[in-house]
């Protein structure tokens, strides 16, 4: 039976899940992506015990569910459970996992004390067996069998004597018999059976070189040859360990020639030798050496553990200052904060580092006060001449300023870039990304594009910087109206991340892709990316972005008239709006929720409710100027359709607001441009109240390229022009206008612009009610004249016939598997899978795996269950 063996270490407190997943991956390499994502980003923002307990149980349950993907039986060993007794989430993790543990997995928990689990209940249910020390003691017969495996023959009397003298202790019996088997000079079993004497016998036979090696590495429980050689400067580590193995020293071989585990008794003996010779100073020196080696290897959490054991506060402060960002990124923020509290308790005065850590914790938890802490720490760092800390704190403050749309940020970032020029490549790339965003939010889109391109070259080695530069490049391109270039940048980023383990970055990319697609007027693509993102991130608790992706889902649901789904998405937007990083989103989400609710009611055929909801939102809420103008345009549209007495005034007032309002960003520009097109469309059917609006939107001149590239807006303007021509055309000579109106209407529906299509149909019905003769222009039975429209049927392209193997690959793509994971599932090479994926993308005319899956579901090549349902979205929120 395959075995995954996890040995807990004290420095695994707060991060044991990652270590446990790593051991299971020795059996199945693609295991644990979702578990790691939840563990890393789903931790509650507060220290509330109830919330922490629910989170730990959910992580455990997810871990157990993912074990079901391992087809063969598995033994999972959790050794030294007691080493994590300081982790309050461990018991709940195990309890949550136990309830979901598949029958094919056996879990063995080993420790020096009984873990705080409901063992009595599990034993009573027949789901667990508890073994104590008495159950594990060897009998004389078992001792004889063990001796035979080592090539030592013991008669019944000697076996019973040995068993009694060791009190049945299996480890003691095994070590003693192993020592006898490897010692040809020994004439019989040693009579001194105490553990200390057994260790002494091993030590006495070791040459000085091996003893020095064991003393140096004694703080380490597991010895990894590659780490010792590359980062510990122990070039002969492999040879020394093989010699220890040959001599039968108390050493367990985990991976021959690579990974070993020294017995705790031997480790203690080595540390005692150092302590007896040099006192605690010598022990601290060995811990410091190990910490330096682990730090160089990028293993920050265990390095922190050994630095804390060394009690070298100055070295610890330097380490934390250098690696605070990495520790937070690796999910060890709480451990770092604990180390800072201990430093303070011992009298360390580090206000810069303390303010930085506390501020990052607040920001991580979505709580106020981070800006003030960063600012105070920065002032102290400047006075102290601490340039590295000052740079890091300014980076944090500048991201906050960009999120808040601070008008001063452009000047601040400019100075920052000049300072970064003298630093490393990644620092310069980070500074350029900041400058690019600062330029972009000030309307300098071409400059933002250039900074993104420069940062991409410098930061190509960093997945995080590739992510940040691609987003900047795509958004700046969008603002310039180059949707093709923006789509290509996002598609390349998506393909990069889809084949990686960066689940959180992939979720954020899908969320951003959805928002950008909405800006491009492509609701079908927006729906695809939003739903895929929700499917992938439903368990991650990405609070800062959850309002954003549900913003898209609300707009998509409104376009289809699905009032239940829209209400769920709106509730999620409202719930998470305060946690949004971007200040403009926090301001617009409230009024947007009302606007989209009204639009959904309208598409569903309830124009009266739509008008009432929109009017109430305009009167009672405090929307941003662009959102208010968009609301007023909707109200004017409803007024025309419902033939209210104030329709002319509503159109005039909305037009004035739209013309005078300046957008802050592309979202505002899209709202204003859409409002202008709707006003023009509505006014086209009421020639007695002519409204003059400009397509260019003078107040939004900076977004002229963006507005001009919106094909759906061009369709709305074409519709308005054709409606005016229709009313002027002579009777019997209106078929050309009618055909043009029908064609533009169908294009809107194909793009998923359900609200605009419904508005067109309602205005046509309004017009034909007033002028019945115009029905002939459309044909009496045309769906355009019906109260509700049917959705267009999408059919798969002619070239989309997939082979059996291609269909299998497509179904696994729908599950979110990487190429490597698909190769393991289908027992193919990774290169072969890449070939199949390219064929599938080509046949479906899709630029990315995500779009291929969405297109396959939309055209029926995959069942609709491969996308999350509305109920899934509700659970996610």
Q: Give the model's pLDDT for residue 826.
A: 76
| 3 state SS of 5 | strand
Could you report the per-residue pLDDT of 570-615, keeping only the tens digit for each? 998 988 888 787 888 888 888 899 999 999 999 999 999 999 999 9
Question: CB neighbours of 190 closer than 8 A, spacing ≥ 6?
Answer: 176, 179, 180, 197, 198, 201
Residue-level length of the chain = 877
Strand partners, 255: 259
For the segment 210-234, the average pLDDT, to the nearest whole number, is 91
Position 45 scores a pLDDT of: 61
In the predicted structure, residue 111 carries a pLDDT above the cut 90: no
Tokens of 54: 């629910």
Q: Is the pLDDT of residue 863 over 60?
A: yes
Q: What is the pLDDT of residue 186?
A: 35
- Cα-flanking dihedrals φ and ψ of residue 77, to 5°? -105, 130
Q: How far apart, in whole angstroms, are the C-alpha atoms of residue 339 and residue 350?
A: 12
Cα–chain-centroid distance for residue 816?
14
Two tokens, residue 314: 């100055």
Average pLDDT over residues 251-263: 82
Q: Check residue 803 and report its DSSP letter.
A: P
The reported pLDDT for the residue numbered 279 is: 93
Higher pLDDT, 807 or 519: 519
Poorest-pLDDT segment among 247-256, 713-722, 734-743:
247-256
What tens digit of pLDDT does each residue of 400-419 get? 888 888 788 778 888 888 87
For the stretch 21-51, pLDDT in tens is: 888 888 887 788 788 877 766 666 666 788 8
Q: Which residue has the higher pLDDT, 336 or 45?
A: 336
Return the pLDDT at 638: 94
Whole-number pLDDT of residue 184: 34
At 79, is the pLDDT very low, low, confident or very high (cuts 50, 70, 90)?
confident
Once rounded to an integer, what is the mean pLDDT over residues 837-859?
76
Give per-residue pLDDT as tens, 131-140. Answer: 776 667 788 8
pLDDT 10s digits, 755-783: 999 999 999 888 888 888 777 777 766 66
Beta sheet of 259-262, edge-to-edge order? 222-224, 259-262, 251-255
Q: Roughly how many angstroms between the first and final C-alpha of the chain, as a whole number? A: 40
* DSSP one-letter string for 381-438: HHHHT-HHHHHHHHHHHHHHHHHTT-TTHHHHHHHHHHHHTTS-HHHHHHHHHHHHHH
Strand partners, 75: 3, 106
The predicted model gives 554-560 an average pLDDT of: 93
- Please give the Cα distance from 261 to 254 (Å, whole number): 7
Q: What is the pLDDT of residues 714-733, one digit of tens each?
A: 889 888 888 888 877 655 56
8: nearest Cα among 251, 291, 222 = 222
Instruction: Extract the tokens encoding 687.
Output: 């020639």
Alpha helices in 252-312 (DSSP H): 264-278, 280-296, 300-310
Distance CA 136, CA 82 (A): 18
Give pLDDT tens digits for 142-182. Answer: 888 888 777 777 788 888 877 776 667 676 676 666 655 54
Strand ordering across the sheet containing 74-79:
3-7, 74-79, 105-109
Q: CA 72 to CA 595: how far, in whole Å? A: 53
Q: How confident is the prediction for the chain on average, in pLDDT?
A: 82
Supply the pLDDT for residue 598. Answer: 94
In Å, what is the CA distance from 876 to each residue of 563, 589, 680?
18, 19, 39
Nearest to 632 by CA among 608, 659, 662: 659
**21-25, 85-89, 482-486: which has the highest mean pLDDT?**
482-486
Strands 74-79 and 105-109: parallel
Burial class of residue 81, CB neighbours in 10 A (0-12, 13-18, 19+): buried
d(CA 853, CA 494): 13
Q: Are strands 259-262 and 222-224 parallel, antiparallel or unpaired?
A: antiparallel
Tokens representing 127 are 């789901």
- 688, 646 contact by CB (below 8 A): no
């Amino acid at each position: 039976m395959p075995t995954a063996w996890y040995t807990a270490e004290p420095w695994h407190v707060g991060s044991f899940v990652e270590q446990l997943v790593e051991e299971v991956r020795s059996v199945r390499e693609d295991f644990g992506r979702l578990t790691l994502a939840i563990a890393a980003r789903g931790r509650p923002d507060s220290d509330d015990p109830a919330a922490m307990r629910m989170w730990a149980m959910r992580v455990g349950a997810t871990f157990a569910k993912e074990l079901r993907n391992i087809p063969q039986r598995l033994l999972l060993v959790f050794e030294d459970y007691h080493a994590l007794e300081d982790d309050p989430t461990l018991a709940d993790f195990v309890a949550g996992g136990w309830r979901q543990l598949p029958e094919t997995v056996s879990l063995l928990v080993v420790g020096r004390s009984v873990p705080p689990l409901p063992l009595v209940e599990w034993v009573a249910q027949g789901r667990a067996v508890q073994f104590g020390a008495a159950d594990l003691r060897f009998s004389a017969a078992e001792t004889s069998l063990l001796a035979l495996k080592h090539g030592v023959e013991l008669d019944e009397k000697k076996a019973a004597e040995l068993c009694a003298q060791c009190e049945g202790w299996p480890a003691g019996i095994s070590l003693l018999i192993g020592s006898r088997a490897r010692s040809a000079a020994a004439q019989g079993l040693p009579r001194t059976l105490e553990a200390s004497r057994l260790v002494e016998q091993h030590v006495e036979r070791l040459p000085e070189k091996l003893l020095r090696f064991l003393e140096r590495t004694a703080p380490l429980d597991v010895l990894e040859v590659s780490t010792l050689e590359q980062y510990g400067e122990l070039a002969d580590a492999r040879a020394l360990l093989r010699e220890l193995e040959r001599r039968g020293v108390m050493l367990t071989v985990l991976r021959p020639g690579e990974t070993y585990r020294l017995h705790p008794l031997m480790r203690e003996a080595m540390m005692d030798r150092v302590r007896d010779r040099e006192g605690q100073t010598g022990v601290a020196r060995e811990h410091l050496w190990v910490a330096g080696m682990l730090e160089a290897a990028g293993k920050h959490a265990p390095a922190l553990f050994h630095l804390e054991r060394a009690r070298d506060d100055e070295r610890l402060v330097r380490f934390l200052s250098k690696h605070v960002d990495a520790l937070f990124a690796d999910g060890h923020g709480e451990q770092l904060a604990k180390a800072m509290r201990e430093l303070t308790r011992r009298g360390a005065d580090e206000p810069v580092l303390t303010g930085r850590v506390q501020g990052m914790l607040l920001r991580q938890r979505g709580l106020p006060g981070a800006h003030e802490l960063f600012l105070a720490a920065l002032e102290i760092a400047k006075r102290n001449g601490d340039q590295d800390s000052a740079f890091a704190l300014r980076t944090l403050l500048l991201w906050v300023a960009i999120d808040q749309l601070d008008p001063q940020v452009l000047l601040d970032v400019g100075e920052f870039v000049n300072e970064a020029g003298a630093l490393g490549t990644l620092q310069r790339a980070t500074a350029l990304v900041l400058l690019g965003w600062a330029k972009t939010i000030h309307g300098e889109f071409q400059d933002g594009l250039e900074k993104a391109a420069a940062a991409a070259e410098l930061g190509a080695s960093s997945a995080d910087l590739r992510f940040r530069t691609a987003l900047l490049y795509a958004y700046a391109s969008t603002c310039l109206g180059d949707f093709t270039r923006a789509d290509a940048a996002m598609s390349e980023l998506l393909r990069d991340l889809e084949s990686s383990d960066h689940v959180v970055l992939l979720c954020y990319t899908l969320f951003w892709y959805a928002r950008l697609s909405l800006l491009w007027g492509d609701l079908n693509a927006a729906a695809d990316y939003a739903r895929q993102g929700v499917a992938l991130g439903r368990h991650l608790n990405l609070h800062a972005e959850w309002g954003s992706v549900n913003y898209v889902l609300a707009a998509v649901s409104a376009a289809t008239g699905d009032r239940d789904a829209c209400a769920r998405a709106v509730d999620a937007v409202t719930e998470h709006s305060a946690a949004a990083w971007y200040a403009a989103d926090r301001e617009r989400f409230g009024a947007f929720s009302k606007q989209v609710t009204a639009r959904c009611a309208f598409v569903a055929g309830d124009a009266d409710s739509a008008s009432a909801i929109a009017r109430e939102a305009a009167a009672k809420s405090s929307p941003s100027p662009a959102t208010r103008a968009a609301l007023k345009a909707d109200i004017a549209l409803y007024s025309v359709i419902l033939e209210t007495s104030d329709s002319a005034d509503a159109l005039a007032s909305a037009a004035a607001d739209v013309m005078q309002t300046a957008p802050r960003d592309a979202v505002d520009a899209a709202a204003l441009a859409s409002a202008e097109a709707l006003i023009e469309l509505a006014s086209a059917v009421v020639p007695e109240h002519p409204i003059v609006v400009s397509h260019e939107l003078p107040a939004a001149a900076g977004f002229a390229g963006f507005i001009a590239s919106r094909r759906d807006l061009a369709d709305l303007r074409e519709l308005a022009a054709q409606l005016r021509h229709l009313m002027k055309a002579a009777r019997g000579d209106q078929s050309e206008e009618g055909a043009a109106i029908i064609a533009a209407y169908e294009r809107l529906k194909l793009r998923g612009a359900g609200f605009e299509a419904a508005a067109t149909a309602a205005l046509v019905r309004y017009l034909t009610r007033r002028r019945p003769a115009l029905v002939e222009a459309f044909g009496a039975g045309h769906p355009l004249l019906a109260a509700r429209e049917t959705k267009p049927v999408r059919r798969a392209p002619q070239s989309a016939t997939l082979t059996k193997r291609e269909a299998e690959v497509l179904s696994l793509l729908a599950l979110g598997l990487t190429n490597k994971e698909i190769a393991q599932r289908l027992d193919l090479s990774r290169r072969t899978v890449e070939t199949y994926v390219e064929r599938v993308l080509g046949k479906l005319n899709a630029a990315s795996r995500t779009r291929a899956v969405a297109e396959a579901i939309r055209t029926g090549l995959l069942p609709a269950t491969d996308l999350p349902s509305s109920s899934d979205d509700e659970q996610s929120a």
